[in-house]
C-alpha cells in the first residue's frame, strides 16, 4: 500500500473515531439532562425509600427544582469519579476498600499466572499433536468434549478441590486459555510447508533443532494468534470469576461497588476493563506482526 495513502486512511479513521466518541458523549449528556421543573410532591415518601433514591441518584427535588430524568450518572459525575479514582489509585483502607490500581494488579497477576501455565502446557502439547497424526486423532475427542465447557463451570469443582479462591481463579484462567493455544499451535505445526521439512530431513537435522529452527518460526504467527485469543478470553473470564469468589480484583471491585450502589464507580471499572483489554490485545497484535514473515 502507498505510504501516503496509508497515512491518509489512518488520519480519516482517527477522525471518524473521534467523531463517534463525541457523539457518544453528546448522547450521554442529552440522556442525563434534567427535565422540566417538578411540581411540589403530593405524596409522602418513606425515609427508607428516600434514602434509597438518594443513593441511586433519584432523590426527589423540591418544588421548582429541576427533576432528573433517570438515575444514570451525568458526565460531570463521571468526571469527578475518574479524577478521584486516578488521583489515588494505590490506597488501601482494608479488605473491601482498595484503590483501582491494586485491584487491577491482582487481576493481572492471576491472569498472567494462569496464562503462563497454559502456555507451558498448550504449546509443547500442540507441537506433539501437530507433528503426530496418531496423537491428533487420539486426543481430538477429549479436546472437542472439554473445549466447549464454560470456564466458570469449573469454578465449583476448583473451589472444592483446591479450597483457595485465588488459586481457583488461576485455575479457571488456565482452563480457558489452554484450548485456543493448543488448537492453534497444533494447526500451525501441521501446516508447515512439506518442502521445508523435507529439506531439514535431507540435511539430517535433529528433531529438536528442526522443531526450534524450522517448525517454530513457521508456526509462530499461528501460535501468537492462539495466544492472543486466549488472553482475550482470560481477561473476559477473570472479571466474572472474581465476582464469584470475591476478595480482590477488578471483578470484585465492580461487584462491591454495585453493592455500595455506586454506579459511577461501576462504569469507571467497566471502562478500565475495556482499556486494559485493548492494551493487552494490542500487545499481542504487535508480537504477532513481529514474527510474521512478509514476502
- Please spell the DSSP secondary structure of 163-226, one letter per residue: --HHHHHHHHHHHHHHHHHHHHHHHHHHTS-HHHHHHHHHTT--HHHHIIIIIHHHHHHHHHHH
The pLDDT value recorded for residue 192 is 82
Inform me whether the pLDDT recorded for 235 exceeds 90: yes
Name 37's bridge partners.
Answer: 66
| Domains located in the chain, CATH noted | 100-290 (1.10.3720.10)
Helix axes 250-259, 263-290, angle to 10 degrees: 160
**In the chain, how many H helices and how many E strands?**
12, 2
- 203 backbone dihedrals φ, ψ, rounded to 5°: -80, 5
Residue 247's pLDDT band, with cuts at 50, 70 and 90, is confident
Alpha carbons 90 and 238: distance in angstroms, whole number: 21
Inform me whether the pLDDT recorded for 179 exceeds 90: yes
Average pLDDT over residues 63-89: 74
Alpha carbons 236 and 230: distance in angstroms, whole number: 10
Inform me whether the pLDDT recorded for 37 exceeds 60: no
Alpha carbons 25 and 76: distance in angstroms, whole number: 11
The pLDDT value recorded for residue 229 is 94
Return all residues near 281 (Cβ < 8 A) that are at least 6 apart: 228, 231, 232
More confident residue, 202 or 90: 90
How high does pLDDT run on average in the chain?
Answer: 83
Least confident window among 52-66, 145-159, 261-275: 52-66
Inform me whether the pLDDT recorded for 60 exceeds 60: no
Please tell me whether residue 39 adopts helix, strand or coil conformation: coil
Task: Provide the grid cell at 14.
Answer: 482517527
Alpha carbons 37 and 181: distance in angstroms, whole number: 58
Please report the sign of the dihedral spanned by the C-alpha atoms of residue 6, residue 7, residue 9, residue 10: positive
**According to the per-residue pLDDT averaged within each range, which of 49-53, 142-146, 165-169 is highest?**
142-146
The pLDDT value recorded for residue 210 is 80
CA 249 to chain centre: 13
Least confident window among 41-45, 113-117, 190-194: 41-45
Average pLDDT over residues 28-43: 66
Do 183 and 121 meet the contact criterion of CB atoms below 8 Å apart? no
Please tell me whether residue 153 adopts helix, strand or coil conformation: helix
**According to the per-residue pLDDT averaged within each range, which of 21-35, 136-150, 281-295 is highest?**
136-150
The pLDDT value recorded for residue 171 is 93
Alpha carbons 243 and 249: distance in angstroms, whole number: 9
The pLDDT value recorded for residue 34 is 77
The pLDDT value recorded for residue 269 is 92
Least confident window among 3-12, 14-23, 32-41, 244-253: 32-41
Least confident window among 123-137, 178-192, 205-219: 205-219
Inform me whether the pLDDT recorded for 91 exceeds 80: yes
Amino acid at each position: 500500500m502507498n505510504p501516503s495513502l496509508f497515512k491518509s486512511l489512518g488520519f480519516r479513521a482517527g477522525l471518524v473515531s473521534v467523531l463517534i466518541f463525541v457523539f457518544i458523549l453528546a448522547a450521554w449528556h442529552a440522556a442525563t439532562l434534567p427535565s422540566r421543573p417538578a411540581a411540589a410532591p403530593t405524596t409522602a415518601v418513606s425515609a427508607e425509600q428516600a434514602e434509597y433514591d438518594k443513593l441511586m441518584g433519584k432523590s426527589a427535588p423540591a418544588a421548582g427544582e429541576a427533576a432528573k430524568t433517570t438515575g444514570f450518572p451525568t458526565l460531570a459525575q463521571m468526571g469527578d469519579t475518574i479524577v478521584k479514582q486516578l488521583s489515588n489509585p494505590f490506597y488501601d483502607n482494608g479488605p473491601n476498600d482498595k484503590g483501582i490500581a491494586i485491584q487491577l494488579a491482582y487481576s493481572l497477576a492471576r491472569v498472567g499466572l494462569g496464562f503462563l501455565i497454559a502456555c507451558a502446557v498448550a504449546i509443547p502439547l500442540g507441537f506433539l499433536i501437530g507433528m503426530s497424526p496418531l496423537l491428533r486423532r487420539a486426543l481430538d475427542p477429549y479436546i472437542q468434549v472439554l473445549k466447549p465447557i464454560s470456564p466458570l463451570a469449573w469454578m465449583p469443582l476448583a473451589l472444592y478441590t483446591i479450597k483457595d479462591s485465588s488459586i481457583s481463579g488461576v485455575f479457571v484462567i488456565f482452563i480457558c486459555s489452554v484450548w485456543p493455544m493448543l488448537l492453534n499451535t497444533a494447526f500451525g505445526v501441521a501446516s508447515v510447508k512439506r518442502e521445508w521439512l523435507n529439506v531439514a530431513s535431507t540435511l539430517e537435522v535433529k528433531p529438536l533443532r528442526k522443531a526450534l529452527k524450522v517448525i517454530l518460526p513457521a508456526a509462530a504467527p499461528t501460535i501468537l494468534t492462539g495466544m492472543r485469543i486466549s488472553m482475550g478470553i482470560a481477561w473476559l473470564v477473570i472479571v466474572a470469576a472474581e465476582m464469584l469468589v470475591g476478595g480482590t480484583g477488578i471483578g470484585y471491585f465492580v461487584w462491591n461497588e454495585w453493592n455500595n450502589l455506586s454506579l459511577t464507580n461501576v462504569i469507571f471499572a467497566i471502562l478500565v476493563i475495556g482499556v486494559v483489554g485493548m492494551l493487552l490485545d494490542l500487545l499481542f497484535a504487535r508480537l504477532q506482526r513481529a514474527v510474521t514473515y512478509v514476502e
